[in-house]
Structure 1
């Protein structure tokens, strides 16, 4: 049954490509026929994979992808060719592919469709990384089927791949080290990991201690009242919104609560998470099947919420399909580890002595803070204290931070004292005496001030309680004595 929509789409493409009436095929018709054949070949490869014939499936897939690459590359130089047809097929193949190959297969691990996509001017299809294959469902629905590849989502994809790219890459790295704490709560709640990543990437970039101007806090940016509602209170003075595991649990509970309210409408649920569930419920009313992008809904939302929902979905889509967008996330060994301090040290000192161990070019300060959210990074922890860190740093700690020059240097830098400069105390304003002046014909407040050479219209107006700087003939004014 999963192949029926694709078969219908393929037959329509074939109908469009047919020449009929015995006419000689045009170059455009020939390209559309190639697109049709590639699509059918992809369908065949999927079916062969499900039947267990992996060798035949790989061969069929490779041949189909080669045909698709060739046709898409020629479309841009063929008059009358509509690239949107190729874009639609690329998008459809991504959705068809999600979760459909065998659990032990990653059929195009050696095939990069992004090159074909770039030739046509858009992204192609690539397989989901094996580690993520089993987490693409949202209550039994494929997440990819719930993400509408419309204008706002495409615009957000471009932003993530350009202006927001540094935040996306930082979020990926941060999440890999936090994954063992955050993912179990989402998995238990039957929510897709890609959604968790999309929310975190947009909310905080994976910075556990992030605080917004409105007071939203933590990696998933809970407001205080909402956090309290989902158990993110205070634990011995520590704000649990900053706890990765607790915030992921609370976020999963919130998302599931809103999915029930909005009948599994993911876009409305994300809109509620950003703009408030009460506001979203009033906007939507009883018709929970309405699209987030319906003008009756979309036009009533804040610009922040209009941008937020497609941004989260686009980040989730990239989490699932990075290769399809010419995106390479770094490989991260996020296995958790611990060390028992052999000598007193703060997180800042450990950052200095660890340096770029493990190839971390930007240093380990953010990761150490994220994994030890209850600790002030500047406060020295005693020997014997146990700290969380990536397992790959356990040996680096023993080699660099116990003995030798680096912990000595780190401690020296940490104990440096910055002089406190006392701000100069301004002398009290001199008390000036006052004189009296009787307003004559032709006087204005400005002309009186000019005669004094030491005051202002505002000062004299305030001294005399004048409204709108109005004066009258014969009125006695208080004036400052000028020296």
Structure 2
């Protein structure tokens, strides 16, 4: 629902600068002012060169390139700010340099957007780069600030106290989850956002739902049976083409398929609910049947109307504003002092030079340019592979340009590659020191065997029968919070696949819930 009054937004730096640049400089300058102006011009030229050099590194998949290009842009902005305060500084010259670089990085993307323009698409994210943008997302975002138009999404939802409370929660207790969701989304953006863009839905809404549903974890599962980034229930997923395929993989865990299905589902709901985002979200969480009945019975009133609001469960009353709040922060981070992670996530593919596992890749890639390393990105981009399952050499997996660069540098050969293989191959049993037969130095006298009461003997010899090994006892285990099947298997020394088969748990999620009782089949402890 549109806001009754526009919400004030701070002027972006470049818009202020552009206004200041129309003020004519004084006719005469002192030598000190001339020297300062010349120094600013020198700084701007140096920053421009630094930026261009950084783009060469980015093109070579060097992880230093992104950081250098961002730093160069920050240098330029500092020079422009100083220019506004320096008498005689010609702002037009400074801005021309800045705009020239930004234009070069966004022209190609703009051309793609113009070629595929559709007046029916909702304008989703002018502060964010396009779905398959160049390697300089910060530059593209800065370029967008030159045109400080309102987001279309802002006019489609109601910004009220409930949404403000949701923003407060995301910025306080849930800030780590929000930042994690954003980092995960940036790595998945290349495969998810195009599916929503083609269907005319706002990217901010995609991020908001994903942040609330799964925090961007592809293999997330709920107690109720929902699964994947967008948490589809099995029956709903089947309606939109999701489910277990011929290989046994559940496509609810596939990012592109989940994005496609969720966009189709949202459009279907919005078509029934007068394009009302709040009611469509209420249907997504609280059931489409309930949402349709409430909408029909109340004459299409707003979700926030008490006659509508009170008919939804508490979970849905929380869900709707929290999704909108996450979407709002996605579009307006600077307004709230929110510094979103800078993620170099240009989509790429990686052909493995030798067999490996996601665990091994995580170790040898390191954590350069990330907070938590690359395991989650690899898992999300390649949901069919278990983290400890061997992937044959020659296999092509999904990655980013940064991952490809780090792989070629650290994982093909060298000390870090060798260390990662050593750690992955480590066998706990090798740490146990067991006595060998040669360690006995004494002798043992063996007399004639004498039958003992209660010991079974064979009919043929009358001698004691060989003892049969005791069968392994099948025990049960109650799943605790935080348990995974892999951890349980390690703890009780079980074979993961046997344990999964005995308890009818499907790969790759092996979904468990706290309180569930499983059978410890084939376990040594």
TM bucket (normalised to shorter chain) is 0.5 to 0.7
Answering whether residue 321 of structure 2 is matched by residue 310 of structure 1, we say yes
Provide the residue aligned with 2:349 in structure 1: 338
- CA pair 423-194 structure 1, distance change in 2 beyond 3 A: farther
Q: Would you say the 8 A contact 1:207–1:370 is kept in 2?
A: yes
**Following superposition of structure 1 onto structure 2, how do residues 273-288 of structure 1 map, counting pairs within 5 Å?**
273-287=284-298
Answering whether residue 70 of structure 2 is matched by residue 59 of structure 1, we say no
State the shift of 1:162 in Å.
0.6
> 1:356 & 1:346 partners in 2: Cα distance?
17
Q: Secondary structure at the match of 1:368?
A: helix
Provide the residue aligned with 1:380 in structure 2: 390
> 1:412 & 1:304 partners in 2: Cα distance?
47
Larger RCO, structure (CA 8 Å, separation 6 or more): 2
**Runs of 5+ consecutive residues of structure 2 not aligned to the other structure:** 24-76, 82-124, 131-140, 145-149, 433-469, 475-525
Q: Would you say the 8 A contact 1:174–1:206 is kept in 2?
A: yes
1:412-437 Cα distance to aligned partner (Å, 9 max, x none): 222333459999979xxxxxxxxxxx
**Following superposition of structure 1 onto structure 2, how do residues 118-137 of structure 1 map, counting pairs within 5 Å?**
129=127, 131=129
1:368-411 Cα distance to aligned partner (Å, 9 max, x none): 00011111111111111111111112121111111122222222
State the shift of 1:243 in Å.
0.6
> 2:281 & 2:20 partners in 1: Cα distance?
39
**Following superposition of structure 1 onto structure 2, how do residues 240-279 of structure 1 map, counting pairs within 5 Å?**
240-279=251-290
TM-score (norm 1): 0.60
How many pairs does the alignment contain? 319
**Runs of 5+ consecutive residues of structure 1 not aligned to the other structure:** 11-37, 46-53, 64-108, 113-126, 135-139, 427-483
**Following superposition of structure 1 onto structure 2, how do residues 42-441 of structure 1 map, counting pairs within 5 Å?**
58-59=18-19, 129=127, 131=129, 142-235=152-245, 236-287=247-298, 289-357=300-368, 359-418=369-428
1:61-116 Cα distance to aligned partner (Å, 9 max, x none): 999xxxxxxxxxxxxxxxxxxxxxxxxxxxxxxxxxxxxxxxxxxxxx8999xxxx
> 2:151 & 2:419 partners in 1: Cα distance?
55
1:266-288 Cα distance to aligned partner (Å, 9 max, x none): 10100000011012222332445
> 1:157 & 1:366 partners in 2: Cα distance?
25
Q: Would you say the 8 A contact 2:298–2:307 is kept in 1?
A: no
Q: Secondary structure at the match of 2:399?
A: strand
- CA pair 313-288 structure 1, distance change in 2 beyond 3 A: farther
- CA pair 298-418 structure 1, distance change in 2 beyond 3 A: farther
Q: Secondary structure at the match of 2:129?
A: helix
> 1:57 & 1:408 partners in 2: Cα distance?
53
Q: Output the aligned Cα RMSD.
A: 3.6
State the shift of 1:147 in Å.
2.3
Provide the residue aligned with 2:496 in structure 1: none
Provide the residue aligned with 1:448 in structure 2: none
- CA pair 345-425 structure 1, distance change in 2 beyond 3 A: closer
- CA pair 62-391 structure 1, distance change in 2 beyond 3 A: farther
> 2:15 & 2:175 partners in 1: Cα distance?
37
- CA pair 293-389 structure 1, distance change in 2 beyond 3 A: same
> 1:141 & 1:320 partners in 2: Cα distance?
8
Larger of the two Rg values belongs to structure? 1
Q: Would you say the 8 A contact 2:126–2:151 is kept in 1?
A: no
Q: Would you say the 8 A contact 1:339–1:389 is kept in 2?
A: yes
> 2:16 & 2:165 partners in 1: Cα distance?
38
Q: Secondary structure at the match of 1:131?
A: coil
TM-score (norm 2): 0.55
